[in-house]
Amino acid sequence: MLPPGDTLAHILAHHLETAPDRGAVVLMGRSSETHLTVRQLLDGAGVYADQYKASGVRPGEVVVDLLPPGAPLLFAFLGGVLMGAVPCVLPFPTEKLDPVRYRENLTALIQVTHPAAMVAEPALASELREALPHDPAMKAILGCSDDWKEGSGAQVPDLWEGLMRGPQDLALLQHSSGTTGLQKGVALSHTSILSQLAAYLPALRLSDEDVVVSWLPLYHDMGLIAGFLLPLLAGVKLILMSPFEWARAPWMLMQAVSRHRGTLVWLPNFAYNFCAERIPDRALKGIDLSSWRAVINCSEPMYASSHQMFSNRFIPYGIKPEALTTCYAMAENVFAVTQGPIEGRVTIDRVASESLQRRGLAEPEAGGSQRVVEVVSAGPPLPNCAVQVVGEEGQIVGERQVGELALRSDCMLSGYYNRADATQSALRDGWFLTGDLGYVADGQVYITGRKKDLMIVGGKNIYPQDIEQLIGSVPGVYPGRAVVFGIADQELGTEQVVAIAEIDPRHPRGEAALGLDIRRSVSTGSEITLRHVKIVDERWLVKTSSGKLARSANREKFLTEQGRTRIGSESE
């Protein structure tokens, strides 16, 4: 379905030549919509390309976009593509991001990436010029003005310097989300991106009739690739909204699907719970979700209970249970590694908890009174992707044995930008070590957690997301706002498990009672006892730039408040 072309600029030129007036993007707000045709989108991009060139930016140099969601961000990103630069989108500073940490991350990125230009709103651009350290590679920190939004006439593709770039040249950088470490940029070539789409579009059964709906931020691979570049390059309609507006009014997603007959949406797991619990009935009046053929769970641990909650809530509005599917993705592979069934039921693997924890073996349940863990399949690997499971000594392990997932494909990263050390440690004989733990069964991939987050308690492997799910089921805990981590206890010679949970203001109750309920849920639903439970209010928990709870940062914050490096008492 992709038009011919070896680079992103060639495909954009094809769309401009063959269908300049086709509707490309609808920017949907709570009270208005902005419709952009292919020509209008590239007109705006051309204005930014001219600004970059006037500032001395050359093809192959990095341009950083620090803009809020909206048309200027799309123009700025695509302007880099048209003039052959290497664009990358970073989180726009908001009140939820600590300003000191944000500036530290930005400084670290500049020291590693050495961008040639940055684009921001005028006030932020002025501040950055004063606050950021001087870098000889930096030619301009540009302030986006209203004059840029309208464009200055059709751009002539023959003048695009991006058409002179080769397939193996870098097309863009994706930066790992997190509270630290923004300097770890995933460098992706044009070939990698187009190879990803060539394999992924058939797996989605994409057609000209599809309509992608997205509220995902463009600084995250799910938002940038699935929620922007995929529909743009494939030539299907995109309905795009601000993640900030969606968070305040999640029913906007349902309204967009109903109004524009949306067919494809990618969501992180927490959004399933958020939508099911936070959208009131009155906001769904007249909503028709029958056009929705794939709601793709991606980006974080996937829970069968979240699927069930979402399905139960929205079946009355036309959604089909088989529309809920899954995907395993990462920026280092451009995006998708696997894809679950389209218009078919996702496989739920019920495995014995004790075997999983003690032996790292996903044994199917055998009945009786044993505890069972439900693991959601991420689907089989894409045709151009190979996945193998690696043990602690680097050996390939057998089916249903948990280990680190390793990936090899023709759309992997070129490397971590200006980080040869990080690239070398992540690659082994052409295989990328993902840092994710999981297993393979009957050709399908199952994710059990992150290697760095695994806790070992009394000789048992404990996956924090399993405990977090138990905590999240307790009335009074804000959905999706529980984080669990381990802390070494030298006296006991093992790890102690700490849980931090945000109280839900809709369920007023005492912190002590809620803490007891959390302990009871975990002790009856697992083989561990929580050593320490902390109940917090809104804004305590630290999140990554993509909105996930950051276990390491929350652990650090907890220990700092405790004034020690291990837990010595039960009280809180």
Task: Give the amino acid at 538.
Answer: E
Mean of pLDDT values over 96-115: 83
| pTM assigned to the model | 0.86
Q: Nearest 10 degrees: CA dihedral of 439, 325, 302, 181?
A: 90
**Quick check: helix, strand or coil at residue 153?**
coil
What percent of the chain has pLDDT above 90?
A: 62
301 part of a folded domain: no
- 188 with 87, same domain: the answer is yes
- Token pair listed for 98: 């600590």
Residue 459 domain flag: yes
User: Please, what sign has the CA dihedral across residues 457, 463, 468, 473?
Assistant: negative
Residue 376 above 90 pLDDT?
Answer: yes
Judged against a pLDDT cut of 90, whether residue 287 lies above it is answered with yes
pLDDT average, residue stretch 380-400? 95
- Specify whether 161 is located in the same domain as 236: yes
Whether residue 391 is predicted with pLDDT greater than 60 in this model: the reply is yes
Domain shared by 230 and 180, yes or no: yes
Confidence of residue 147 (pLDDT cuts 50, 70, 90): low
Q: Is the pLDDT of residue 567 over 50?
A: no
Q: What is the mean pLDDT of the chain?
A: 89
Residue 153 pLDDT: 47
Taking the CA atoms of residue 145, residue 146, residue 149 and residue 150 in that order, the dihedral angle to the nearest 10 degrees is -130
Last residue of a domain, one of 248, 270, 286: 248
pLDDT for res 491: 59
Could you tell me the two tokens for 48? 């930014």
Integer-rounded Cα radius of gyration of the chain: 24
The arrangement of strands across the sheet holding 477-489 comes to: 477-489, 494-503, 532-536
**Which residue, among 345, 299, 350, 304, has the nearest Cα to 325 in the 3D structure?**
345
Q: Which amino acid is at 567?
A: I
Question: What is the amino acid identity at position 351?
Answer: V
| pLDDT band, very low/low/confident/very high, at 78 (cuts 50, 70, 90) | very high
358 lies in a domain?
A: yes
What residues have CB less than 8 Å from 369, skipping those under 6 apart?
none
Would you place residue 492 in the very low, low, confident or very high pLDDT band (cuts 50, 70, 90)?
Answer: low
- State the CB neighbour count (10 A cutoff) for residue 93: 19
CA-CA distance, 529 to 534, in Å (whole number)?
14
Whether residue 21 is found in the same domain as residue 38 = yes
Pick the most confident of 176-185, 242-251, 464-473, 534-543: 242-251
Which tokens sit at 8? Answer: 């992103």
Answer with the one of 184, 214, 248 that is the final residue of a domain.
248
- CA separation (Å) from 8 to 12, 26, 200, 297? 6, 21, 16, 27
507: helix, strand or coil: coil
Listed in sequence order, the DSSP H helices in 279-362 are 304-314, 353-359
Q: Looking at the structure, tell me whether residues 422 and 484 fall in a common domain.
A: no
125-139, pLDDT tens digit by residue? 999 998 888 899 999
Together in a domain, 75 and 218: yes
Top pLDDT among 481 and 262 is at 262
Asked whether the predicted pLDDT for residue 178 surpasses 70, the reply is: no
Higher per-residue pLDDT: 392 or 1: 392
**Domain annotation covers residue 292:** no
Confidence of residue 529 (pLDDT cuts 50, 70, 90): confident
Is-contact 548 268, C-beta < 8 A?
A: yes
User: 398 φ, ψ to 5°?
Assistant: -85, 180
- Is 33 inside a domain boundary? yes
| Cα atoms in the 13 Å half-sphere on the side-chain side of 525 | 18
Cβ-Cβ contacts under 8 Å for 211 (sequence gap 6 or more): 236, 237, 238, 239, 260, 261, 262, 263, 264, 291
Q: 376 lies in a domain?
A: yes
Parallel/antiparallel/unpaired status of strands 431-441 and 294-297: unpaired
Q: How many residues does the chain have?
A: 572
How confident is residue 243, by pLDDT bands cut at 50, 70 and 90?
Answer: very high
Residue 70: C-alpha distances to residues 20, 376, 486, 502 (Å)? 21, 34, 40, 31
Per mean pLDDT, which range of 2-16, 121-135, 335-349 is the poorest?
121-135
Residues 364 and 506 in one domain: no
Q: How confident is the model at residue 155 (pLDDT cuts 50, 70, 90)?
A: low
What CATH number corresponds to the domain at position 483? 3.30.300.30
382 and 466 inside one domain: no
Q: pLDDT for 422-461, tens place per residue?
A: 899 899 899 999 989 999 999 999 998 888 887 777 666 7
Which distant-in-sequence residues (6+ apart) come within 8 Å of 365 by Cβ? 350, 351, 352, 372
Lowest mean pLDDT among 100-104, 202-206, 253-257: 100-104
Do 447 and 466 share a structural domain?
Answer: no
What span, in angstroms and rounded, lies between the C-alpha atoms of 429 and 415? Answer: 14
The least confident of 117-126, 274-283, 368-377, 419-428 is 368-377
Q: Does the residue 279 lie in any domain?
A: no
Residue 20 sits in the same domain as residue 167: yes
Q: Which domain holds residue 389?
A: 329-451
Q: How many domains does the chain have?
A: 3
What average pLDDT does the segment 477-504 reach?
81
Distance, CA of 203 to CA of 201 (rounded, Å): 5
Determine, yes or no, domain membership for 375.
Answer: yes
CA distances from 36 to 24, 76, 267 (A): 6, 15, 24
d(CA 438, CA 405): 6
Q: Is the pLDDT of residue 565 over 50?
A: no
The domain that contains 73 carries what CATH number? Answer: 3.40.50.12780
What pLDDT was estimated at residue 546? 61
User: How far is the CA of 558 from the CAs of 180, 196, 483, in angstroms?
Assistant: 17, 40, 11
Average pLDDT over residues 241-258: 96
Q: Rounded to an integer, what is the distance from CA 128 to the centroid of its chain?
A: 27
Over residues 298-319, the pLDDT tens digits come to 976 788 988 999 999 999 999 9
122: left (phi over 0), alpha (psi -120 to 50) or beta: alpha
**pLDDT tens-digit profile of 495-505?**
788 999 999 88
- Chain centroid, CA 556 distance in Å: 23
In CATH, what number is assigned to the domain containing residue 403?
Answer: 2.30.38.10
Burial class (CB in 10 A: 0-12, 13-18, 19+), 254: buried
> Are residue 467 and residue 439 in the same domain, yes or no?
no
Token readout for 498 is 């700490």
Which of 52-66, 163-177, 537-551 is the least confident region? 537-551
Residue 387's φ and ψ, nearest 5 degrees, are -125, 130
Averaged pLDDT for residues 64-69:
95
Answer with the one of 451, 466, 493 that is the final residue of a domain: 451
- Cβ–Cβ < 8 Å for 188, 169: no
**Claim to verify: residue 430 and residue 518 sit in the same structural domain:** no
Angstrom distance (rounded) from CA 368 to CA 383: 39
What are the φ and ψ backbone dihedral angles of 548, each rounded to 5 degrees? -80, 155
Pick from 480, 502, 484: which is nearest to 555 by CA?
A: 484
Task: Please report the pLDDT score of residue 505 as a whole number.
Answer: 82
CB count within 10 Å of CB 369 equals 4
Burial zone of 206 (CB within 10 Å; 0-12 exposed, 13-18 middle, 19+ buried): buried
